[in-house]
Structure 1
Amino acid sequence: MMGDIPDDPPRWWQTRWFVAAAALIAIVPLIWPEIPPLVDLPGHMGRYRVQLSLDAAPWLSQWYNFRWSLIGNLGIDLLIIPFAKLFGLELGVKLIIMAIPALTVAGLLWIAREVHGRIPPTALFALPLAYCYPFQFGFANFALSMALALCLFALWLRLGRLRRFRLRAAIFIPASCLLWLCHTFGWGVLGVLAFSAEMIREHDRRKDAGSGHWFASWFRAGLHCIPLSLPILMMILWRSGDHVTGQTTDWFDWHAKTQWLLMVLRDRWLAWDVAGAALLYLLLLKGIRDPAIEYSRNLALSALFLTAVFLLLPRIVFGSAYADMRLAPYVIAIAVIAIRPRRTMSLRHAGVLAMLGLAFFLARMGGTTISYWMFAHDYRTELAALEKLPVGARVVSFVGYGCRNEWRMSRLEHLPALALERKLAYTNDQWSMAGAQLLTARYTIAGGFAHDPSQITTTRWCLREWWRPIGYSMARFPRDAFDYVWLIRTAPFDPSYASDLVPIWRSADGTSALLKVDHTKPAPDIADSELIPKRLLELRDLIRRKRAAEAAAAEKAKAAANPS
């Protein structure tokens, strides 16, 4: 499992100071933005505000149902309790988010050190994946759990190398439970990595003893991983509750999986991000074909196991989307750090590889820093509307979006939640999925505008999406449920749809505005035929008739079964 440690002194990329410097460089893009510009993060911050402020703002309980429960998705939800007391909610969240890429970088380099004996120069190419697409999407608990899983895997390898198996079991029984509590995905990945590492270690040990049978190695590897198994009971408790919802579906979508592999570095600029991914794949190919470098059997097997999981995972697990997409960058990261120079490679050649890897890392961090600075400017522009919003307001928000999946996501999709976070206002962008989140919306009078994705608006009806055109949303949102309308970079719409709304703030370019509902004026009376295409009206009527027929049949069957 271990590479031989050479007698010569470590090179600059193999020192502790380099690992510390790389971890610090990884946080640079997040220093400037007040709110880390990750797509879903503002929505999570709204939930944190509810959990922290139910006693101080009792009206929140009229809008949201918040209930603590044992779920495998509580990482920052738990950490923010002490962090908010020490630093305030926004700074507390920022500090936790800043720790994620730093821990990811440190974990990758530590794993490389444990497996190869020294950090190989090729490992530096994996470091930009600390800002992978799932992190950019704002899967905060997931990204934190993956960063911790990498560090824990490195510790697992170290204790195994030192043959401290009892100490390892004592540490990893509680550590695996805490990791599962952070996010189930991190625990699962740690289990896959640990099992594959133990298979190689057991096989090599038995091979040296003349009995290197793979089945015996597999069995012994499973025994070594028993300290990681306690969260299975926690998983059963979580998924067997009456409150749990969410399907597991959309299997083997090969087109989507191919896209995820191209999007591992997706941020703002398509050519720049795809070129970065292409460089990683070129390096992986060279690991196969170049006689000067090779793959570690340990991490190569880990990468193969993770690849199998990625291929088998559906897109939606327990109602949470993009399950397979989340794993893709970490498959690549493990495969990249599996590569190492052969003994025949000269120190000069290794130094050149390290400089190229460092240049790639610095270039990606520089690009991400610029990108985040631009997103932070967008946030400041839009959040100026909150200065005009009173505390405790009932706000329906509409964010402009396109039917096409644009490479540069606006990062505004859940910005309305900052009205909840800063002004304790009702916003309609919270997820409402029992069993997957601690918070669900209970504001029934808002109807179809109570929760995500009702805040997303488009210029037209989009195929296979629940999003509504801005005109429909403006004409149909329930006026009695809301006092304010927050428009964030929406498309133009017929002014008659807002005849009962009074502008109180507007952005310089006119695409964003805060409007107040004038309850003394009647809501616009717009016919469905003006808002909905004829084919959609016909489909809606067909669905209504089908549901009515099913209800009548069920009532008839019930009456037949109970004639009294």
Structure 2
Amino acid sequence: MNRDVHWWQRRGAVGLAVLLSIVPLLWPAIPPLTDLPGHIGRYRVMLGTDADVLAQWYRFEWRLVGNLGVDLLVYALAPLVGLEPAVKAAVIATAALMASGILWVTREVHGRITPFAWFALPLAYSFPLQFGFVNYALAVALAFNAFALWLRLAGQTKLRAALFVPLACIVWLAHVMGWGALGLMAFGAELARQRETGRGLVGGAVRAAIGCLPLAVPLLLLVLWRVDSGGGMTGEFLQHKLQWLATILRDRWMAWDLASVLLLWALVYLGFRDRRIARSGMLTGVAALFALAYLALPYILFDSTFADMRLAPLVLLFALIAMRPGEAMSARWQQRLALAGLLFFAARTAGTAISFWQYDRSWTRELAALDHVPRGARLVTLVGEQCLKPWGRSRLVHLPGIALARRAAFANDQWPLSGSALLSVTAKDMGAFATDPSQMVLSGPCEIESQLKPVDVALKTIPRGTFDHLWLVDPPAYDPRLLAGMTPLWRDGTSGLYRIERSR
């Protein structure tokens, strides 16, 4: 193998890549991730700054659950910089940690940054982050860096054990599935080492499991959490498994996103076919473990939906960083491959930045309505959705959470979770419009989205004696007569804010 240090392997290039990875998040005041506004609403209740109003509708109770990553960061940062800047800082840190973790693991395994690592970097913005699973994304980013440290300390078992008892707990606290991912990474690495010593699969697996015992302490926390909440595994087996493998980079433009992910899968295929490409048996084994976990995992796990989808990017990521140029690959071809990876990374980063800028514009336009919402408004919001979801979704469905955060208004988008929810909605008089998904409305009945109401049905059934304002966010066509008795306060296109007159 050529041991020369190429320009793409130098520390300056690595640092620049980590900085480039956060570029899409610099412009938007709020990272335009689908679920994030709902989280921001919860953070406002958590901080207690508007408790005089919000206590009538919400109760926040701290609990020891494996789903607290960004919550804890925001709790620490928000009193210093404000709520929304704290959230933005946490998401930026998540993207940077993920990028640095990918490069660090690559260096620990291969001894240098490989050209394939540059192709893997755009996976920091894979579909789970785009959907707004911020606690999970932070936990996985922490897990990658912890795994790199695990590899670095391979010969110092006592020191590693002492460090990884608290590190495993930190990752678990961020999100339980991130801790599970760290366990798969470490087990795969230890199993590969045991196999290299000549041990059989069963004996090697037993010894690998023993070596990973420092990571097992959160099992006690997991038992306490699940016993306390009564949750467990539910969901559908094998649903949409192939679809998630194709939508790993889903953002806005279907052709661009599909072409990008197909390119990455083609590279993985090439790695098995081209003799000029070598592979790390360790990381290939880790990729195989994630593939098995992905196939076995149900759709819902520990109250987290899309549980299986979240692992799909990790299968592809480890398959990519397992590859390296072999002895037969010339320095010129390595240069070309690295340049192609850097161009792909730059193109995906630029595309994500443009996409986020466009989402930010649409959010800013809709959020202008909040200038006309009085503090403490009993606000009901209806957001237009489609029965068949387009590739590039509007990401407006949880904007009510921003009304909660900025105006201390009631928001009917908070989702109830039976095991990990710190926030509970106590506003019983809101009826069917108390929680998610009551804020999402369709143009008509839809079998696929049977929980969602047609917009006309929602407008007819809003309890007008309970709510005092209605916010329509990009709604489908509706009968304007259903707004009788409401005074318009703000309009922009089909969106509008209305005061519900109690006398009517």
**Which bin holds the TM-score, normalised by the shorter protein?**
over 0.9
CA distance in 2, matches of 1:86, 1:247: 39
The runs of 5 or more residues in structure 1 that have no matched partner are 522-564
What displacement does 1:213 show?
2.8
CA displacement, residues 109-167 of structure 1 (integer Å, 9 cap, x when unaligned): 1111111111111111101101100000000000000111111001100111xx11111
CA distance in 2, matches of 1:86, 1:361: 34
CA distance in 1, matches of 2:302, 2:266: 35
Do structure 1's residue 216 and structure 2's residue 208 form an aligned pair? no
The answer to whether the Cα contact below 8 Å between 2:116 and 2:321 also exists between their aligned partners in 1 is yes
Instruction: Name 2:36's counterpart in structure 1.
Output: 41
- SS of match in other structure, 1:59: helix
1:116 to 110, 120, 130: 110
CA distance in 2, matches of 1:193, 1:332: 14
Instruction: Name 2:59's counterpart in structure 1.
Output: 65
Alignment of 1:478-517 (within 5 A): 478-507=463-492, 509=493, 511-517=494-500
Please tell me the residue identity of whatever aligns with 1:406.
P
CA distance in 2, matches of 1:278, 1:221: 34
Count of residue pairs the alignment pairs up: 503
CA displacement, residues 437-484 of structure 1 (integer Å, 9 cap, x when unaligned): 211211111111100000001101111421111111111011122110
CA displacement, residues 185-224 of structure 1 (integer Å, 9 cap, x when unaligned): 11001001100101111222x23xxxx3333322221111
Instruction: Name 2:192's counterpart in structure 1.
Output: 200
CA displacement, residues 13-70 of structure 1 (integer Å, 9 cap, x when unaligned): 212111111110000001000110000000000000001026x422312211211111
1:106 to 88, 93, 100: 100
What displacement does 1:433 show?
1.6
1:357 to 324, 341, 346: 341
Instruction: Name 1:153's counterpart in structure 2.
Output: 147
CA displacement, residues 263-297 of structure 1 (integer Å, 9 cap, x when unaligned): 00000000000000000010000001111102210
Please tell me the residue identity of whatever aligns with 1:15.
R
Instruction: Name 2:212's counterpart in structure 1.
Output: 225
CA distance in 1, matches of 2:195, 2:408: 58
The answer to whether the Cα contact below 8 Å between 1:475 and 1:498 also exists between their aligned partners in 2 is no
Write out the 4+ residue segments of structure 1 that deviate beyond 3 Å after TM superposition.
243-247
CA distance in 1, matches of 2:233, 2:432: 21
CA displacement, residues 206-261 of structure 1 (integer Å, 9 cap, x when unaligned): 23xxxx333332222111100000000100001011x44565121122xx011100
Instruction: Name 2:328's counterpart in structure 1.
Output: 344
Instruction: Name 2:404's counterpart in structure 1.
Output: 420
CA distance in 1, matches of 2:498, 2:363: 19
Question: CA RMSD for the aligned pairs?
Answer: 1.2
Please tell me the residue identity of whatever aligns with 2:488.
P
The answer to whether the Cα contact below 8 Å between 1:244 and 1:436 also exists between their aligned partners in 2 is no
1:310 to 294, 303, 322: 294
Do structure 1's residue 168 and structure 2's residue 155 form an aligned pair? no
CA distance in 2, matches of 1:173, 1:13: 35
Please tell me the residue identity of whatever aligns with 1:501.
M
What displacement does 1:347 show?
0.9
Instruction: Name 2:224's counterpart in structure 1.
Output: 237
1:84 to 78, 83, 88: 78
The answer to whether the Cα contact below 8 Å between 2:135 and 2:174 also exists between their aligned partners in 1 is yes
What displacement does 1:384 show?
0.5
What's the % identity of the aligned pairs? Answer: 47
Instruction: Name 2:129's counterpart in structure 1.
Output: 135
Instruction: Name 2:319's counterpart in structure 1.
Output: 335
CA distance in 1, matches of 2:158, 2:6: 34
**Between 494-503 and 67-76, the greater mean CA deviation after superposition:** 494-503
Instruction: Name 1:561's counterpart in structure 2.
Output: none
CA distance in 1, matches of 2:233, 2:186: 29
CA distance in 1, matches of 2:350, 2:123: 14
Q: TM-score, structure 2 length as denominator?
A: 0.98
CA distance in 2, matches of 1:245, 1:495: 43
The runs of 5 or more residues in structure 2 that have no matched partner are none
Larger radius of gyration: 1
Q: TM-score, structure 1 length as denominator?
A: 0.88
- SS of match in other structure, 1:380: helix
The answer to whether the Cα contact below 8 Å between 2:226 and 2:232 also exists between their aligned partners in 1 is no
What displacement does 1:492 show?
2.0
